[in-house]
Structure 1
Amino acid sequence: MISFPNAKINIGLNVISKRADGFHDIDSIFYPIHLHDVLEIVKNEDQNSEKIIFSSSGIEIPGNSPNNLCVKAFNVLDEKHNLPSIKIHLHKVIPIGAGLGGGSSDGAFAINMLDELFDLKLELSEKLSYASQLGSDCSFFIENKSAYASGRGEILQEIDLNLNDHRIILINPNIQVNTADAYLGMVPKLREELLKDIISSIIKKWKTDIGNDFEESVFAKYPDISSIKNQLYEAGALYASMSGSGSSVFGIFEKGIPKLNFPPDYLVVKV
């Protein structure tokens, strides 16, 4: 069984408060985009071998395989459903540490695939619960629809947001931003208006009304990321922003996307 876990962008990201459990409450819009990994899960015919065999290709994945969210997804389900032995292969395309939720998407897609592969007949609420155990934004990718995100990112409310009539370009400068480091020094603050109440306004107004709290600290440390956003606005973007805690930046254009000049090691893709 093969699937194609996709990335997401954050349209706005406000850090509202720090929680007693060490996480932060956020206010954000999650929007799925067309940038995909490739995930294959098959039953292992040799049931006497180890429970899970994980391999990967494409972008190098740091850390050990037990820490990969696909593996963790299997372990979470296996604990309750005693699953047969499987093989997982992940071809990594979505940049890592890029604010695009690539790892979270892989884990959530693995839950959906395992549910189908072994006919577990999981309720949506069960899959969302399993996904929330993997990471703050994993639950989003279970349904994979535009959503207003609150809590630590796991409380989702579907919204009517469709950008198919616009053109979105994504630029990743080959910089990895550690999310935990990005939160250091962040001063949470409440907003008078939530993003779910602003997102329905015309996109041209987003430039002044919708921001990303991580930009100030990340731009200060990585000026090249700030430069990308500036270039997108200079090229005529209706809205441009860093996604998540970085390092990817996206621009939304009304019609065609003009020619943009970025260094050859940057990922530049229309999504």
Structure 2
Amino acid sequence: MLDFPNAKINIGLLVTEKRPDGFHNLESCFYPVQWCDALEILPAEKLEFTMSGLPVPGNPDSNLCLKAYHLLQQEFQLPPVHMHLHKVIPMGAGLGGGSSDAAFALKELNSLFELNLSDDKLEGYARQLGSDCAFFIRNKPVIAVEKGDVFKPVALDLKGYTCVLVYPGIHITTAEAYGNIMPQKPSCDIEMFLKQDIKVWKDVLKNDFETALFPKYPELAAIKERLYAAGATYASMTGSGSAVYGLFKEEGSSNLIFPDHYLLWKGLL
């Protein structure tokens, strides 16, 4: 079984408070984009996990795809499988690629072995793997709150817009990003502003991590400025960085030129 775990962008991201468990509460709009990895799961004689594409730091045995398998194995007698992950979505970019891989592993195993798990059940498993893993089960725009794992539907349709994602090769860990953040009560209502014309988003929909990370990584601020200069209607860093995206209604995005070591993705929403 072959599937293509996709990335997401954050439209607005407010870090509202630090929780007693050490995590942070946040408010953000998660929106899926089709910058994708590839994940294939096949029955096998023994459990095996292999990777290709972009190098993934750390021990492969701790990969979230394998953790998804072992999580379901606790309840179901799953046969061994061969899982192969081809990594295209950059890591440390705020795109949720690893979380998406884990969620898609759950969905593929559910289909492959006919476990008949509902989306609600799959979301429950996904929440055990990571804060935003559950989003990729249904993979539809939502307002995410609490740790980013509690969702409210949002009527947001960006069809017709082109998204340009720019990753400058800067890997920002979650610990680094949150280590520089100052939680504060929400200064705006993201859901309310999403209902307004996208042209007003620039002034009201903020990503709190930009304040924390742009002074340390001025390259990120420069990318955002370049996207606006090229005609983006809205531009922002996504997640806790370091990818920055622009939403374009016209073809101005074709004029963008970045250094060769940057990774770029461009596609219709």
Give me the TM-score of the superposition, normalised by structure 2.
0.97
Asked if residue 259 in structure 1 is aligned to residue 264 in structure 2, the reply is no
Which residue is equivalent to 1:106?
A: 101
Q: Which runs of 5+ in 2 are unaligned?
A: none
Quote how far apart the aligned CAs of 1:200 are: 1.0
Which residue is equivalent to 1:18?
A: 18
Q: Distance in 1 between matches of 2:181 and 2:92?
A: 18
Which residue is equivalent to 2:147?
A: 152
Q: Distance in 2 between matches of 1:9 and 1:208?
A: 18
Greater alpha carbon shift after TM alignment, 27-36 vs 260-269: 260-269
Quote how far apart the aligned CAs of 1:260 are: 1.0
Q: Distance in 1 between matches of 2:76 and 2:27?
A: 34
CA contact (8 A) 2:7 2:35 kept: yes
Equivalenced residue count is: 266
Q: Extract structure 1 runs of 4+ deviating beyond 2 A.
A: none
Which residue is equivalent to 1:8?
A: 8
Secondary structure at the aligned position of 1:83 is classed as: coil
CA contact (8 A) 1:100 1:244 kept: yes
Q: Deviations over 1:63-115 (max 9, x none)?
A: 11221110010011001112111110000000011100000000000000000
Quote how far apart the aligned CAs of 1:193 are: 3.4
Q: Distance in 2 between matches of 1:124 and 1:39?
A: 19
Which residue is equivalent to 1:129?
A: 124
Give the percent of matched residue pairs that are identical in Structure 1 and Structure 2: 47
1:181-260 matched pairs, under 5 angstroms:
181-256=176-251, 257-260=253-256
CA contact (8 A) 2:19 2:25 kept: yes
Secondary structure at the aligned position of 2:265 is classed as: strand
Secondary structure at the aligned position of 2:74 is classed as: helix
Give me the TM-score of the superposition, normalised by structure 1.
0.96
Asked if residue 29 in structure 1 is aligned to residue 40 in structure 2, the reply is no
CA contact (8 A) 1:27 1:194 kept: no
Counterpart of 1:78 (choices 66, 73, 77) is 73
Counterpart of 1:89 (choices 80, 84, 87) is 84
Secondary structure at the aligned position of 1:250 is classed as: strand
CA contact (8 A) 2:188 2:204 kept: no
Which residue is equivalent to 1:269?
A: 265
Q: CA RMSD in A?
A: 1.0
Quote how far apart the aligned CAs of 1:268 are: 1.6
Letter in 2 for 1:10: N
Quote how far apart the aligned CAs of 1:258 are: 3.6
Greater alpha carbon shift after TM alignment, 202-211 vs 188-197: 188-197
Letter in 1 for 2:255: K
Q: Distance in 1 between matches of 2:206 and 2:21?
A: 26
Letter in 1 for 2:166: I
Counterpart of 1:167 (choices 155, 162, 167) is 162
Secondary structure at the aligned position of 1:77 is classed as: helix
Q: Deviations over 1:149-194 (max 9, x none)?
A: 0010000112111111111111110111111111013111112532
Q: Which runs of 5+ in 1 are unaligned?
A: none
CA contact (8 A) 1:177 1:246 kept: yes
Quote how far apart the aligned CAs of 1:216 are: 1.5
